[in-house]
Structure 1
Amino acid sequence: MARLSWTSGPPRSSFSRRRHTVRRLRDQGLYGPRFRDVLPGLAGAVVVVCAVAAGLAVGYRAAGPVVPVAGVGLLSLVVAVEMRRRRPGARRRRGRYTADELRELDVQGLALAVARILRRDGWRVRLLPAPDRPRLYARDATGRQLDVAFRPVAEPLPDEALPDPRTRRDATGPRLQLVVHRGAFRDRDVRWAQRQGDTRLLDGPTLERWAGGTHMDTLFDPPLWS
């Protein structure tokens, strides 16, 4: 018969083992939230439901069954509209993308995504399609203009100047070129943009913040139009 070592402790109960496992998973970020973490949201939901029920009851006493029926119908409509707004397709059409969605796009898809994001921020956008390197021209209500170029994933920005579509100056106002890249720019890319004078670089992390809802005017430090 095997002997227990003098270093062996008492056997753990199933409750102790489960508590140890839960603690370890939480430390690794692999376990769900604690009850105290979800309690505020749960309490808020209960308050909202009780308030709606009380309102329907008061309406029923005041005007009969018309008020509860209309209230339930309106609530159902609001829930349906909100669920539709949260669908990935509808969200993307409003110019909001997740980081995973951005990574799955090709260059043409990335150009369409940036066009939607610009429209979300109040810009009027014209897509200048090209087989390998699409461009965007955008203008806002204040007269600011943007020429947007795109770099494929993992392709560095060349030292030489990009083909520049800014030959038609059909509007007055400040004008910049924005180069969008889902990766990271190299030091030589930064030097290249500084030599251009009117070119700014938008890398992957900044693009993800922009696609997540951050307005363009707060993306850059110093600001893009400083």
Structure 2
Amino acid sequence: MARLSWTSGPPRSSFSRRRHTVRRLRDQGLYGPRFRDVLPALAGAVVVVCAVVAGLAVGYRVGGPVVPVIGVSLPALVIAVEIRRRRPGARRRRGRYSAEELRELDVQGLALAVARMLRRDGWRVRLLPAPDRPRLYARDSAGRQLDVAFRPVAEPLPDEATPDPRSRRDTAGPRLQLVVHRGVFRERDVRWAQRQGDTRLVDGSALERWAAGAGLNDLFDKGLWG
């Protein structure tokens, strides 16, 4: 028969074991806040609810049932509009994309996304469709113009068609070429763009910042036209 050790204490109750487990989990940050930690927020929520109810009651006495109906309907309408705005489809139509959404796009989808981002920044955009290499032509209110190309290599490929002549009708005003790539440009591409002088490169990281809400001009250290 096993003997009890002189150092062994009395067996712990289930309540004591649970309290010990809760204390250990709290020390590790795995159990959650204590009641006293959430008490200020809870008290604030109660005060806000009571204030709203009191305000609706006063409004009912002063202006009749119309006041509380409006007081309840207006916040509900604001919340519904905000939820609608945050839906992925509505967000993308406003020219905002997540990094994951950009990676899932094909070339045509990327061209549409960039067109939406340009419109979000105040540009008037025309899509020049092509089977495998779409292009965009954009113009802003100041008369500045952009030719936007989509390819993994900035320097034109030997078999690449020249820009659509329809985009050359507006010759007045400064004009730049914008090359968009979801990956990383190589050194030779950067050197080629620098030699051109009128070419700007937008790589994957800059494209993600642009899609997240940054302005096109903010993607470049000296600005787009610097």
TM-score, scaled to structure 1: 0.78
Match of 2:189 in 1: 189
Instruction: Assess, with a 3 A threshold, how the Cα gap between structure 1 residues 44 and 82 changes in structure 2: closer, same or farther.
Output: farther
Residue deviations 1:70-100, cap 9 Å, x none? 2212222221111111100000001111111
Instruction: Assess, with a 3 A threshold, how the Cα gap between structure 1 residues 75 and 16 changes in structure 2: closer, same or farther.
Output: closer
Structure of greater Rg:
2
Match of 2:83 in 1: 83
Q: What is the number of equivalent residue pairs in this alignment?
A: 207
* Equivalent residue letter for 2:175: R
Deviation (angstroms), 1:15 = 3.0
2:92 and 2:189 mapped to 1: Cα distance? 30
Choose the corresponding residue for 2:163, options 153, 162, 165: 165
Structural mapping, 1:210-221, within 5 Å: 210-221=210-221
Choose the corresponding residue for 2:21, options 14, 19, 37: 14
1:146 and 1:33 mapped to 2: Cα distance? 54
Percent identical pairs in the alignment equals 74
Deviation (angstroms), 1:57 = 3.0
Residue deviations 1:83-134, cap 9 Å, x none? 1111000000011111111111111100000000111111100001111110
Match of 1:206 in 2: 206
Structural mapping, 1:40-189, within 5 Å: 52-151=52-151, 155-158=152-155, 163-165=161-163, 167=165, 168-189=168-189
Unaligned runs of 5+ in 1: 2-12, 24-30
* Equivalent residue letter for 1:19: R
2:201 and 2:174 mapped to 1: Cα distance? 17
Instruction: Assess, with a 3 A threshold, how the Cα gap between structure 1 residues 45 and 205 changes in structure 2: closer, same or farther.
Output: farther
1:32 and 1:52 mapped to 2: Cα distance? 30
Matched position secondary structure for 1:22? coil
Unaligned runs of 5+ in 2: 3-19
